[in-house]
Copies of this chain bind each other. A is one copy, B any other.
Amino acid sequence: MAPVADTDVSIESISAYGKARSTVKDKPLSDEELRLTDDYMRASLYLCLGMLYLRHNPLLREPLKVEDLKARLLGHWGSDAGQIFVYVHMNRLIKKYGLDALFISGPGHGAPAVISQSYLEGVYSEVYPDKSEDVEGLRKFFKQFSFPGGIGSHATPETPGSLHEGGELGYSISHAFGAVFDHPDLIALTMVGDGESETGPLATSWHSTKFLNPITDGAVLPVLHLNGYKINNPTVLARVSHKELESLFYGYGWTPYFVEGSDPDTMHQAMAATLEKCVLEIRGYQKKARESGKAFRPFWPMIVLRSPKGWTGPRTVDGHYLEGFWRAHQIPIPDVASSKQHLKLLEDWMKSYTPEKYFTEDGKLIPGLKKLAPEGNARMSANPVANGGLIKKPLKLPDFRDYKVEVKHGGNTNAPSMSNMAVFLRDVIAKNQTNFRLFGPDETESNKLGGVYAAGKKVWMGEYFEEDADGGNLATEGRVMEMLSEHTCEGWLEGYVLSGRHGLLNSYEPFIHIIDSMVNQHCKWIEKCLEVEWRAKVASLNILLTATVWRQDHNGFTHQDPGFLDVVANKSPEVVRIYLPPDGNCLLSCMDHCLRSSNYVNVIVADKQDHLQYLDMEAAIEHCTKGAGIWDWASNDQGQEPDLVMASCGDVPTHESLAATALLREYIPELKIRFVNVVDLFKLIPHGDHPHGLTDTEFSAIFTDNKPVIFNFHSYPWLIHRLTFNRKGSHNLQVHGYNEKGNIDTPLELAIRNKTDRFSLAMEALDKMPNLGNKGSSAREKLLNEQIKCKNEAFHEGIDPEYIRKWVWPF
């Protein structure tokens, strides 16, 4: 059956079976090298099966019994052989050419492949001494795999040499590029699963070559593993014609080299030759660019490896396909405990790898094979790049105080917080030309951060046109990475940070949800790293959200979603931090703090428009250090219990809250109002639940236990309730925030729709104080009239009446 019309497709040409078919025809291995390479691979495959099945009798020196098996069989066999195959051939080249190489394992659940290699290299026993290179160590090594209290089936943080877990698929290529940026000598050998390659993030990340400079950056060498099957389906790329595949990768800007088949000997020669050809091509392009000083974009080499899923396993079991079919995905023969026949089949299969030839009596890999691995840090599972905290250099930071916004009188100065902060970022970039990058999906200029280009332009390896000179800010060498793919930007940043550098992602607030799942996974990675002794802390991953909901009035409803904070707040308190600086000096202070920190995901939310400024630098630092506190200058309850607490979190909401406070004080001067601002969102959580959380005493001292608190929040209001639900007085909290109401509105209308405007806040406050009697109700009426008037004016004029700007703090 051949559903494709008009093409050269034939079942034979896309089969994973037979003698090797390859683009490169050399046979670089001597017979001896070939035999050793194959032996090394078989030793590794034996270890994989051991991990999947055994808890005793690791070298099968006794007949295999049910008691030797783990009681619950978990783990994956499908992509192991292909990954090992590539890994061992890279070892030869690392030794031959002294390469600095990293292995990135993209296919899902491929851990046995990389872990078995790490064990053979000796690295595993070095970092986990109880998994020693002897029989008992091997037994423990097997038993821990996919075992309670043990390690998982992905390249988790516990895996030496890994900076890419592969639990959620799609990010191997972007992580690899992130790792090689500014690491000119590094080659990231990146296995890409053909399942993974169907994901959106992976599909676009092939274009990363348009952002890689061959002089200053290293290289990514992808091996697309056409393993043929996912969990229960064939993969798309394994079932299209050869010509389509070749075209696709040429079209993505790569030179694809094919290695296809199942016959071990010819496959070894083909992969040895192909991998060497690719490495030499990479070095050739780098040499040409570096010697000439002229950066260009080569069609970088890549490899398409087509081999059977579950390669080297039985082709069929009981008349059903196993190897070369999706049944080889997970535990290849699941019923070995209940079927004697299958237990025997497993035993024969495992013994067919002849472990007795490869491991000494003590259970050590024999020296003849040991020598195939590189030594020291040249071993891929020992590459310090994958433990980026080890090689991390601190950022050289200018003094952020030097960039302060002048604030004489709170609420009197109007200034652009974001573009002011951009000057600070510019100098951060200037001082860290190989250690810091700014990432963003085509929004850096729009986000008012264009000032940074003075110190680092946008990297662009595509073609150049005449008009680019007219403010294009493009260069082959630069510090700003912009592609219209939040996934790719985030993946690059993650790879960059995990390999020991620093960075910041800037994004429109609404579209950061595109990478919810990536940020989740990064949080999980850095949290797990805290439990892995030998991992050093990496720099924090910093996310700056702007183009925020309150000024997305003109872009309408699709651009209004501040809910990323809810996603982040679900992650472990060990690793997440959220800041909502109310003004420019606080933004500077928060940014400086985030750039200095380690092992967090920091989220800063700040609007990009001009805003009123409240705190001079000294006050800002004090306020941000506390994270939440009373603004005495905006309060009139000094030395007394207040009648009312007006609280805010976020820049636009703070502005409205202050305005509401001013209105209330104007209308009812005797009202004692305390003004509270929260910068560090996690201050609201109980101290026991988050290291930043206020103690209950501190919380009460700020918010009181029994006074109405009108809290104006940047995001969905429920987040505040969720953070404060078990605080004394939480019932007195009336939170206003975005209620998922919006369209094409003026900023005022948008605020009124969601009741975050000054009038709604002040009216709400009065509603909470019925004891004010007539005074209260007449003030309420005035507020309502004022609100209607402003709204009508705004509507009539069809413009933002600049109502948020014209107001000046009057006290």
Contacts and interface: CB of A to CB of B under 8 A. Distances in A.
Contact of A744 (B9, B148, B563): B148
A450 B233 CA distance: 12
Given A152-B743, A295-B3, A513-B567, A528 B554 contact: no
A534 interface: no
Contacts of A514: 168, 516-517
Interface stretch (A176-184, A248-256, A780-788): A248-256
Nearest to A524: B557
Contact of A463 (B240, B471, B572): B240
Contact of A570 (B461, B463, B563): B563
A134 interface: no
Given A446-B231, A721-B725, A476 B570 contact: no
A33 interface: no
Contacts of A460: 233-234, 239
A764 B764 CA distance: 38
Interface string A539-565: 000000000000001111111010100
A432 to B, nearest CB: 23
Contact of A248 (B5, B11, B248, B800): B248
A558 B524 contact: yes
A392 interface: no
A237 to B, nearest CB: 8
Contacts of A743: 149, 152, 528
Contacts of A561: 520, 570
A635 interface: no
Given A253-B244, A460-B234, A570-B740, A513 B524 contact: no
Given A198-B485, A524-B558, A558-B168, A464 B1 contact: yes
B234 A244 contact: no
Interface stretch (A363-371, A422-430, A791-799): A791-799
B230 A511 contact: no
Given A148-B749, A200-B200, A514-B168, A296 B520 contact: no
A94 interface: no
Nearest to A247: B251
A396 interface: no
A443 interface: yes
A442 interface: yes
Contacts of A555: 152-153, 167
Name the residue among A3, A244, A245, A554 with the largest chain B CB count within 10 angstroms. A3
A568 B1 CA distance: 43
A239 B378 CA distance: 38
Interface stretch (A70-78, A596-604, A660-668): A70-78
Interface in A144-178: 146-154, 156, 165, 167-170
A571 interface: yes
Interface residues of A, number: 152
Interface string A62-75: 00000000111010
B567 A297 contact: no
Contacts of A199: 200, 204, 484-487
Interface in A1-35: 1-7, 9, 11, 14-15
A785 to B, nearest CB: 20
Contacts of A55: 798
Given A244-B250, A798-B71, A3 B513 contact: no
A442 B231 CA distance: 6
A517 B514 CA distance: 5
B458 A233 contact: yes
A3 B463 contact: yes
A287 B206 CA distance: 36
A175 to B, nearest CB: 14
A442 B195 contact: yes
A299 interface: yes
B731 A726 contact: yes
A746 B788 CA distance: 60
Name the residue among A203, A443, A721 with the largest chain B CB count within 10 angstroms. A203
A391 interface: no
A381 interface: no
Interface stretch (A261-269, A317-325, A610-618): A317-325
A470 interface: yes
A488 B200 CA distance: 8
Interface string A443-475: 111100010000000101111110110111010
A514 B252 CA distance: 24
Contacts of A799: 71-72, 148
B558 A9 contact: no
Interface in A53-96: 55, 70-72, 74
Closest 9 CB pairs of A and B: A248-B251, A167-B558, A200-B200, A239-B462, A247-B251, A152-B556, A203-B204, A513-B517, A203-B203
Given A200-B203, A235-B484, A561-B570, 17 more contacts: A72-B799, A72-B800, A147-B744, A148-B794, A148-B798, A152-B555, A196-B484, A200-B201, A231-B443, A232-B444, A234-B460, A239-B463, A240-B253, A247-B248, A321-B470, A718-B722, A725-B730
9 contacts: A3-B463, A149-B743, A149-B749, A168-B558, A199-B485, A232-B442, A320-B470, A324-B467, A566-B567
